[in-house]
């Protein structure tokens, strides 16, 4: 397939995944800013970067899990399900191992969701030893100094080739981790921003997927977030600094629901590597959502344990996955000259 045909696929995927189905009124402006910065379809660019650096048995970190205000130990469904799908795609398309990085209180939810996406979960020690594509889940510290040490240790131990954040809360320029409603979540938040800093210092590929402005990766479009997102330039903590994330990444993927960004990367990997099953199915999606909710995940906006992601029912997300499959189907049916 010619490069321009991949661009058509990438554009179609990005358009599908940025439909403002929830009516929040900001995704169009956020996407335009990210697209202007990267000058390429965002999901396709992320997938290309991953294929360039990730080889069989290489490790990719997936940072996900977002504790929902006012809770201190309950995470939402947006993020973990995308992580489960992406880990599966990285295994099938690239032969990679994955290490999920999350908050200590979300370890069980992330583990069970990942297993729902066909990932075999082993201990970090076993993952290093094994020559097959398996996954591990590790917690990350909430204290800054400890987080800095842990970031260095994880990089030294696993030597990751890439790190992808999916709906993972980022840090403002004055060091606060905000909920989308402007509340300070820093006391409960694993300081994963420190891990991204260390990865960038060592030349590891960094990708951030977000939908609201406070997620890791939105630092690439910081000024736009400040202008167009509610609480982007103001918040409910004493500094009133705003919720805009300040984390800079190599690729920022902006979509209407963060999980969808992971699915878009899956679809691009499937098309690029000629492996259509790297994109999970609608049936797989329903199973992963159910596993996540059964393990304690909640619908973030409603704050209840129902099979929804970002206030949209499971069937909607399954349909998005099936539509992604239709977009890439021509890649496998001889439509290219």
Residue 63 confidence (pLDDT) above 70 = yes
Please tell me the predicted confidence (pLDDT) of residue 237. Answer: 81
Looking at residues 128-132, what average pLDDT do you find? 95
* Domains, the chain, ordered by start: 3-332 (3.90.1640.20)
Q: Where are the beta strands (DSSP E) in 39-140?
A: 59-64, 97-103, 135-140
Among residues 101, 64, 48, 53, the alpha carbon closest in space to that of 203 is found at: 53
What is the model's pTM? 0.96
Looking at residues 42-56, what average pLDDT do you find? 98
Looking at residues 77-81, what average pLDDT do you find? 98
- Residue 191 dihedral angles phi and psi, to the nearest 5°: -80, 65
DSSP sequence for 310-335: TTEEHHHHHHHHHHHHHHHHGGGTT-
Classify 121 as helix, strand or coil. strand
DSSP state letter for 230: T
Looking at residues 15-34, what average pLDDT do you find? 94
What length does the chain have? 337
For residues 257 and 174, which has the higher predicted lDDT (pLDDT)? Answer: 257
């Amino acid at each position: 397939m010619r490069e321009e045909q991949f661009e058509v696929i990438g554009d179609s995927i990005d358009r599908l995944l940025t439909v403002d189905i929830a009516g929040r009124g900001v995704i169009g402006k956020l996407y335009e800013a990210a697209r202007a910065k990267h000058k390429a379809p965002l999901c396709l660019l992320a997938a290309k970067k991953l294929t360039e650096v990730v080889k069989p048995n290489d490790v990719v970190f997936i940072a996900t899990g977002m504790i929902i205000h006012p809770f201190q130990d309950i995470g939402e469904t947006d993020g973990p399900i995308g992580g489960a799908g992406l880990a599966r795609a990285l295994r099938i398309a690239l032969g990679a191992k994955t290490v999920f990085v999350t908050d200590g209180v979300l370890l069980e939810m992330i583990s069970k969701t990942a297993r729902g996406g066909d990932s075999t979960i082993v201990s970090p020690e076993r993952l290093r030893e094994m020559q097959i594509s398996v996954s591990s889940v590790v917690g990350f510290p909430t204290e800054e100094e400890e987080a800095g040490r842990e970031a260095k240790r994880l990089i030294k131990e696993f030597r990751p080739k890439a790190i992808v954040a999916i709906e993972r809360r980022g840090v403002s320029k004055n060091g606060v981790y905000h909920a989308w409603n402007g509340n300070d979540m820093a006391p409960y938040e694993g300081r994963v921003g420190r891990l991204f800093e260390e990865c960038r210092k060592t030349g590891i590929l960094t990708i951030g997927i977000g939908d609201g402005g406070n997620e890791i990766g939105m630092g690439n479009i910081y000024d736009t977030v400040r202008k167009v997102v509610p609480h982007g330039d103001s918040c409910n903590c004493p500094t009133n600094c705003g919720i805009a994330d300040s984390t800079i990444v190599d690729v920022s993927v902006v979509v209407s629901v963060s999980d969808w960004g992971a699915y878009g990367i899956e679809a691009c990997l499937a098309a690029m590597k000629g492996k259509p099953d790297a994109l999970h199915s609608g049936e797989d999606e329903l199973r992963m959502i159910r596993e996540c909710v059964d393990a304690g995940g909640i619908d973030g906006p409603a704050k209840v344990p129902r099979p929804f992601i970002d206030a949209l029912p499971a069937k909607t997300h399954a349909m998005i996955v099936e539509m992604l499959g239709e977009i890439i189907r021509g890649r496998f049916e001889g439509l290219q000259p």
